[in-house]
Amino acid sequence: MSNTSRKLNGSEILIQCLIEQGVDTVFGYPGGAILNVYDKLYDHKEIKHILTAHEQGASHAADGYARSTGKVGVCLATSGPGSTNLTTGVATAYMDSSPVVFITCNVNSDLIGRDAFQEVDITGVTLPITKSSYIVSRVENLADTVREAFAIARSGRPGPVLIDIQKNATASECEYYPVTPEEYFMSTGTRIERLKNTHHPSVGYPDINLEAIDELAELIDKSEKPLLICGGGVVRAKASQEFRTLAARMDSPVAITVMGGGAFPGDSPLKTGMIGMHGSQASNMACDACDLLLAVGCRFSDRVTLNPAGFAKNAKIVHIDIDASEINKNVMTDLHIIGDAKKILNLLLAKLKHDKKNDAWKNYVFSFKRETEYDDVEGTLTPKEVLSAAAEILPQDTIVTTDVGQHQMWAIQHFKFDYPGQLITSGGFGTMGFGLGAAIGAQAGNPEKTVLHVTGDGSFRMNCNELCTEEFYKLPIITLIFNNSALGMVRQWQHLIYNERYSQTTLDRGPDFAKLAEAYGVHGRRVTDVATLRDVLKEAVASRSDGKGWVIDCRIDMDEMVRPMVGGNSFIANFMLD
Amino acid sequence: MQAKENNQNLKRYTIVTAMDNEAGVLSQLAHLFSRKGYNIETIAAGWTVDQNVTRFTIEIFSDDERIKLLCAQLRKLVPIHYVEILDPSKAIRRELMLVRVHAADKAARNEIIQIANIFRGSVIDITPDSLTISVTGDDQKTQAFETLLKEFGIIELARTGIVAIERGEM
Ligand SMILES: Cc1ncc(C[n+]2csc(CCOP(=O)(O)OP(=O)(O)O)c2C)c(N)n1
Ligand SMILES: [Mg+2]
């Protein structure tokens, strides 16, 4: 530990602690309670602060930054409404295990509990949607709390953490000693020491059960019809290479969850596609017939398993996950291994006796479609045409963020993601309005890459205010609106299940998105045919250096559906739509 | 409580956990039970030998699978030190019950005192028409005592909730 101690105020200590953690970009929005912090930020040009239009936008941006860079995202907000505006972003990060540190300030300690102006118990509000949350009322506790918060956000199963600092603690002074994250992790007398020594799941990696690895190697050896599921844990554990090697050595088809997108190459001949409610025929049929289902870093959400009673009914189910509380939560497993996916897969690879060949099984699985064949409709622009044009014209390594709805499913089905972090989507919480904020975070964290934001007219309307952020910070994000004049995904359910009673899902209303974009100072176009779309996309690629984003309003038919589809709680091979 | 046990085919579990003794840990703990759909039957808390650590004894009805999941979820809370399910054959479980009961005449008073003696209870307050008794035991004992006092008319009753500890090894 360095012995250069200085007396600093809480705001300066907070910023020093962010610097300790290597933070160079934060997203946020100021206000009364957090004024001291912003005052210090004014002197620290080495930390880039991105001011959004709304705290929700900042929360998604910090999340998108974290998911696309693998670093911890940071988001600042003031007390009261500033902090409650974060909550959807906190929950979104929580459900998708994204490491974000949210820092809010609250009223002075002596006002707490008196319903002071803009006072709210934000740690209480976010208790169920954070990995951990902290109240700091004394400056002496600030530095170690920030260090602990970062350690917890990024370790074990990652997730959001919230620190609520009372205003007096941002003003009073105490001694500050710089401590690197590594030094902190090795420190004694801190809570991190106990967490580490007890292998607490919030920071530690449990000891891996080596017998279970042997058993799994045995199961793989015996299996003739294996199916791998690639979940979001493969992305978070940075275990994509190991997973790819395993799939090749098992010669096993691979189904990918929404959160697993990018961890397994989209153009691999072993890929069966998405699994679950909008899973491909190949994925869902393979799941139904496999004799070994090996799920890595997935939590068997109801959108994947549908009716859990019939899920992989002929298979031994094996679950690899870092979170013990995911084991046997939604699906009863035959074998589980708790721990870091990268370590487990490496141990497993060393135990595999021989490489397998499963030609008969693969022939069976791939006799079913792995991609949905959407029809070309003469004279209209179809989702498929839009996505094909984007895939062809934009660079191969384009980061894709999405909103929530049909457009999200189409994008995930269509694009051939190739690396972890390439697909950024709200899989667990299904947050409409996530996409633009996430794109801002992704573009801020990856200035050299192209960022494509795929959205729907409903979702875009929710948080399109962030176009001003995109414009101001010269983030050349390409927004593709799948404008079907509808809350399409809800409308699809109404079509299929509610006798076409389209209650409150028709969006026959403004604004003109192209004009709106122009008003915000970015490029805006409306397109109704694929030839124009291709020209616009080429122009967007060519004009990247001007730092201006694009909003391309693609008019598509409102009756287009996401296929295939299995109804909620049906059996996975029971398609209601092919 | 007994009725519930039969109806839902659930067992009673005694969970023992220790947490950092700081503001908000009880609400974190209690919140986890409610948001995962468990109803706490009893909860009792106090310091351990280390005043920085609070030990909770919690009893709930559940089954073997669900209780494992719950423990795994509890273990994720940052202030948690450990979580254990006590083996019923090794657990010593006690609660304190205070009960004030009508005792309008000498006969009633004598009878109540006799019952209390059998339960090793002690009379801690007496007025011309009531007695307050404290009794310690597991939930079955306190329940039995309560049942016997009912006919006299219970004015007020308070339980601490079960605290439990494992027997030492012989
Ligand atoms: C914040 C929020 N509110 C409501 C929903 C429910 N919902 C899910 S998809 C959807 C429709 C989305 O419409 P749009 O963005 O136009 O996408 P489309 O399905 O038409 O492609 C709605 C309302 C949600 N997921 N998130
Ligand atoms: Mg729409």
pLDDT, residue B2, reads 40
**What's the rounded mean pLDDT across residues A528-538?**
97
Residues in contact with ligand 1 (CB, 6 Å cut-off)? A 403-407, 430-433, 456-459, 482, 484, 486-490
**Bond before A511 cis per omega within 30 degrees:** yes
Q: How far from the centroid of its chain's Cα atoms is residue B84's Cα? A: 17
**Which residues in chain B are closer than 8 Å to A200, comparing Cβ atoms?**
75, 78, 80
pLDDT in tens, A552-561: 999 999 999 9
Query: What is the number of other CB atoms lying within 10 angstroms of the CB of residue B105?
Result: 10
pLDDT, residue B8, reads 63
Burial of B9 (0-12, 13-18, 19+ CB in 10 A): exposed
pLDDT for residue A323 is more than 60? yes
**What's the rounded mean pLDDT across residues A61-76?**
98
Write down the catalytic residue from A7, A48, A117, A357.
A117
pLDDT, residue A206, reads 82
Pairwise CA distance, residues A141 & A13, whole Å? 11
Q: Is B50 on the interface with A (CB under 8 A)?
A: no
pLDDT in tens, A275-320: 999 999 999 999 999 999 999 999 999 999 999 999 999 999 999 9
Q: Distance between the two ends of chain B, CA-based, in angstroms?
A: 33
Q: What is the ipTM of this complex?
A: 0.91
Residue whose CB lies within 8 A of the most ligand 1 atoms, among A404, A485, A504, A563, for a mutation test: A404
Where b means 16+ CB within 10 Å and e means fewer, B55-90 reads: bbbbbbbbeeebbbbbbbbbbbbbbbbebebbeeee
The DSSP line for A87-151 is HHHHHHHHHTT--EEEEEEES-GGGTTTT-TT---HHHHHGGGSSEEEEE-SGGGHHHHHHHHHH
CA distance readout (Å), A455 to A315, B119, B143: 37, 71, 61
Annotated active-site residue A117? The verdict is yes
Nearest to A229 by CA among A268, A278, A264: A264
pLDDT, residue A4, reads 76
Pairwise CA distance, residues B154 & B102, whole Å? 6
Angle at A419 between CA A271 and CA A283, to 5 degrees: 20
**What's the rounded mean pLDDT across residues A486-492?**
98
Pairwise CA distance, residues A522 & A515, whole Å? 10
**Which residues in chain B are closer than 8 Å to A327, comparing Cβ atoms?**
69, 72
Percent of chain A with pLDDT over 70: 99
Pairwise CA distance, residues B168 & B165, whole Å? 9
Q: Determine which helix (DSSP H) or strand (DSSP E) holds B118, and give its type and residue range.
A: helix B106-118
Query: What is the number of other CB atoms lying within 10 angstroms of the CB of residue A545?
Result: 8
Strand partners, B47: B54
pLDDT, residue A338, reads 97
Nearest to A462 by CA among A82, A57, A80, A28: A57
pLDDT for residue A436 is more than 80? yes
Q: Which ligand is nearest to the CA of A408?
A: 1
pLDDT in tens, A158-169: 999 999 999 999
**Coil/strand/helix, residue A527:** strand
Write down the catalytic residue from A167, A225, A342, A362.
A167
Angle at A67 between CA A63 and CA A71, to 5 degrees: 90
Higher-confidence position of B37 and A19: A19
Q: Distance between the two ends of chain A, CA-based, in angstroms?
A: 62
pLDDT category at A531 given cuts 50, 70, 90 is very high
pLDDT for residue A170 is more than 70? yes
- DSSP-derived secondary structure letter, A8: E
pLDDT, residue A2, reads 52
The alpha helices in A394-448, defined as continuous H runs, are 406-414, 434-445
pLDDT category at A455 given cuts 50, 70, 90 is very high
Residues 6+ apart with CB under 8 A from A386: A480, A482, A530, A533, A554, A556
Burial of A343 (0-12, 13-18, 19+ CB in 10 A): middle
Annotated active-site residue A167? The verdict is yes
Residue A250 region, left (φ>0) first, then alpha (ψ -120 to 50), else beta?
A: alpha
Q: Quick one: CA dihedral A16, A18, A23, A29, positive or negative?
A: negative
pLDDT in tens, A179-199: 999 999 999 999 999 999 999
Nearest to A125 by CA among A107, A96, A104, A156: A104
- DSSP-derived secondary structure letter, A277: T
Pairwise CA distance, residues A231 & A248, whole Å? 17
pLDDT in tens, A235-261: 999 999 999 999 999 999 999 999 999
Where b means 16+ CB within 10 Å and e means fewer, A369-405 reads: bbebebeeeeeebbbbbbbbbbbebbeeebbbbbbbb
Mean pLDDT of chain A: 96
CA distance readout (Å), A163 to A75, A124, A244, A388, A564: 10, 12, 38, 43, 43
Output the residue whose Cα is nearest ligand 1's atom 1: A432
Pairwise CA distance, residues A360 & A370, whole Å? 17
pLDDT, residue B3, reads 39
Residues 6+ apart with CB under 8 A from A214: A351
pLDDT, residue B9, reads 77
In ligand 1, the atom with minimum distance to the C-alpha of A404 is 9
pLDDT category at A378 given cuts 50, 70, 90 is confident
Nearest to A475 by CA among A438, A503, A509: A438
Q: Is A128 in contact with B72 (Cβ distance < 8 A)?
A: no
Q: Is B76 in contact with A323 (Cβ distance < 8 A)?
A: yes
pLDDT category at A96 given cuts 50, 70, 90 is very high
Annotated active-site residue A489? The verdict is yes
Output the residue whose Cα is nearest ligand 1's atom 20: A488
pLDDT category at A377 given cuts 50, 70, 90 is confident
Q: Is B11 on the interface with A (CB under 8 A)?
A: no
Residue indicated by tokens 């069966």: A272
**Which residues in chain B are closer than 8 Å to A138, comparing Cβ atoms?**
none
Annotated active-site residue A408? The verdict is no
Tokens linked to A460:
């875009």
User: Are the CB atoms for A257 and A274 separated by under 8 Å?
Assistant: yes
User: Rounded to the nearest 5°, which phi and psi values hold at B5?
Assistant: -55, -45
**Coil/strand/helix, residue A175:** strand
Pairwise CA distance, residues A369 & A290, whole Å? 16
Pairwise CA distance, residues B122 & B107, whole Å? 18
Who among B28, B68, B69 is closest to A127 (CB)? B28
pLDDT in tens, A277-286: 999 999 999 9
Q: pLDDT per position in chain B (170 positions), as tens? A: 343 444 567 999 999 999 999 988 999 999 999 999 999 999 999 999 999 999 999 999 999 999 999 999 999 999 999 999 999 999 999 999 999 999 999 999 999 999 999 999 999 999 999 999 999 999 999 999 999 999 999 999 999 999 999 998 87
Residue indicated by tokens 């009912």: B150
Nearest to A397 by CA among A420, A425, A418: A418
Tokens linked to B83:
């979580």
Tokens linked to A388:
């094909």
**Which residues in chain B are closer than 8 Å to A152, comparing Cβ atoms?**
78
Percent of chain A with pLDDT over 90: 96
pLDDT for residue A1 is more than 90? no
